Structure 1
Amino acid sequence: MSENYLSFEKVKKSFGAVPVVSQTTLSFARGSLIVFLGPSGCGKTTLMRMVGGLDRPSSGTIRLDGEAVAGPDRRRGMVFQSYSSFPWLTVEGNIAFGMRYRNDLSDAQRQERIGHYLKLIGLEEFRHSYPNRISGGMRQRVAIARSLAAGSDVLLMDEPFGALDALTRERLQVQLRAIQSSEEKTIIFVTHDVEEAVFLADRIILFSARPATVLRDIDVTALLGSERQLETRENEAFFKLRNDILHLIRTVTGSS
């Protein structure tokens, strides 16, 4: 497995005279789930947007599988905090919309992929429902399936569960780990929630307040293993890692 599948090479970003991201050099393996963790407004979302090609670095280069990122393409799909389903399309139609530029697929292959991802996200019985008839958690699952159906190799997720209630959020965190494992996708997940970060991540990149500077690069899998269930939150290693990160954040920010 290449450890340089996704890499940041001396990447910096400023908006005008305002520095947003300090010089950053990182590399990630294919198929890993990376969490960008840091305070609100620190610049972690800007880093993710640069991976998606929506923003350009002021200096430095981001590479995906050896190729410099120059703009958006279907290899990198995005899921935002807002429920990004198209209200005029059914669940099935939303997933199909992700394949609108897939000229390499026959009609039969499109239908097969729709069925596969409906089953993967557990919404087969809702395939003909419109987004206003399903829950927020379901709509986020549809957004994930739409990106996967498009053929995205990298899924970029900007606090996608932030607007959900606690129980739905926990269930989707478990499902995301399962989806990531079965699909072998590389995921960058942005959050400021420490417990969510520890539960989801293979690696946590902990950033300072703006301009984003890497404070720690934490190998969570080495500490917790790769299998995560709701019970993982109750074990001693989970509590220790969460508390260590919270202590570090409080120390750096000066919070009591």
Structure 2
Amino acid sequence: MSFVLEVDGVTKSFDVPLSSKPVLSNVTFQVKEGEFVSLIGPSGSGKTTLFHLIGGLDVPNLGEIRIKGRRTIGERGNIAYMPQQASLMPWLTVAGNIELALDIAGMDRKEARIKAREWLERVGLHGEIGDSYPHVLSGGMQQRVSFLRALLSPQPLMCLDEPFGALDALTRMQMQTWLLSLWEENRRSVLFVTHSIEEALLLSDRILILSTAPATIIREVVVPFARPRRDELWSDPTFNELKREIYDQLKP
């Protein structure tokens, strides 16, 4: 079995005046090739801290992190990251933001320009939108560009940190459907942080439930629904049963 990500016994605490604040405790899990895994847990349970450790922005006190079988603790540049806010370069056009990601990945600039336009057309952001600057786009459109930038990065793992959390409910549902359709075509390995149980069930192959801090994984839920996911999934009795079970796990 091929694992893109292996997190093994990761423990992390932060120094505070006169003491130490434990955040993660013996966290262990894997993400397989082409798998969509969601992390869900109470606020402050260390989900973003875990992303920082996986991305090499910080180092654990104990444990190992491996990407494609190689130890990557404290090493940056091994994941494609999509934050809650789009974080696009405001001085570049939409197409320019995509071209920059491809350029950084080592693609020839002319080829990057062509590929950026091709992908923008595929996701419905071609024409005038591609030549626009990020500030004129809606939040949903900005997040589409941000996701596309992560998707086209060459790293084997995409880490998405509550990418739809700042969107209104309708736009969020539209983005979930859009992300699913695009992900189905490419099947990149994804680690996805969300506070929404429904979102996790809709998108994921597996859901990992974190406890309160110091967080550890208290349950793994294998999502039983076939892909591609059906529009009527929300009314499926199993969907609602799993939603209640996960909610019960998250209750204080």
1:15 lines up with 2:3 in the alignment: no
Moved more, 207-216 or 226-235: 226-235
**Which residue of the partner structure matches residue 28 of structure 2?**
25
Q: Does the 8 Å CA contact 2:37/2:205 hold for their aligned counterparts? A: yes
| Closer, same or farther: CA 117–43 of 1 in aligned 2, 3 Å | same
Please state how far the C-alpha of 1:56 moved relative to its aligned partner.
1.2
CA drift of 1:84 comes to 1.2
Which of 114, 117, 125 is 1:115 aligned to? 117
**Deviation (angstroms), 1:166:** 0.7
User: What is the number of equivalent residue pairs in this alignment?
Assistant: 246
2:67 aligned residue: 64
2:247 paired with 1:243: no
Letter in 1 for 2:61: S
- What's the secondary structure of 1:99's corresponding residue? helix
* Contact 1:117/1:149, CA 8 A, preserved across alignment: no
Q: 1:188 to 1:120 in 2, by over 3 A?
A: farther
1:244 shift after superposition: 1.4
**Contact 2:103 2:109 survives alignment (8 Å):** no
1:201 aligns with 2:201: no
1:112 Cα deviation (Å)? 3.2
- The secondary structure found in structure 1 opposite 2:64 is strand
Q: Distance in 1 between the 2:237 and 2:114 partners?
A: 43
CA distance in structure 1 between the aligned counterparts of 2:153 and 2:196, rounded to whole angstroms: 29
Partner residue of 1:213? 216
In the other structure, the counterpart of 1:144 is 147
Distance 2:220 2:118 in 1: 35
Who is 2:79 aligned against? Answer: 76
| Superposition deviation, residue 100 in structure 1 | 3.0
Q: Secondary structure at the match of 1:6?
A: strand
C-alpha separation in 1, matches of 2:232 and 2:143: 23
What SS class does the counterpart of residue 104 from structure 2 fall into?
coil
Higher deviation after alignment, 9-18 or 177-186: 177-186
Q: Choose the corresponding residue for 2:156, options 139, 143, 153.
A: 153
Superposition RMSD in Å? 1.5
Code of the residue aligned with 1:244 in structure 2: it is: E
Report the equivalent of 1:53. Answer: 56
The correspondence of residues 81-120 of structure 1 with structure 2, limited to 5 A, is 81-103=84-106, 105-120=107-122
* Stretches of structure 1 lacking an aligned partner (at least 5 in a row): none
1:107 Cα deviation from its structure 2 partner: 3.2
Q: CA offsets, 1:194-252, max 9 Å, x none?
A: 111111111100001111111101111xx2222224321121121111111112222xx
Q: Which moved more, 1:231-240 or 1:14-23?
A: 231-240
Q: CA deviation at 1:153?
A: 2.0
Alignment of 1:125-140 (within 5 A): 125=127, 126-140=129-143
Q: 1:177, CA displacement in angstroms?
A: 1.7
Amino acid at match of 2:93: T
How many angstroms does 1:134 deviate by? 1.1
Q: Take 1:19 and 1:120, find their aligned partners in 2: how far apart are those partners?
A: 45
1:191 aligns with 2:194: yes
Return the alpha-carbon distance in structure 2 between the equivalents of residues 152 and 5 of structure 1.
10
Q: Verify the 8 A CA contact 1:6 1:27 in the aligned structure 2.
A: yes
- Percentage of identical aligned residues: 37
Q: Tell me, yes or no, if the aligned pair for 1:5 and 1:29 is still in contact at 8 Å.
A: yes
TM-score by length of 1: 0.91
Q: TM-score, normalised by structure 2?
A: 0.92
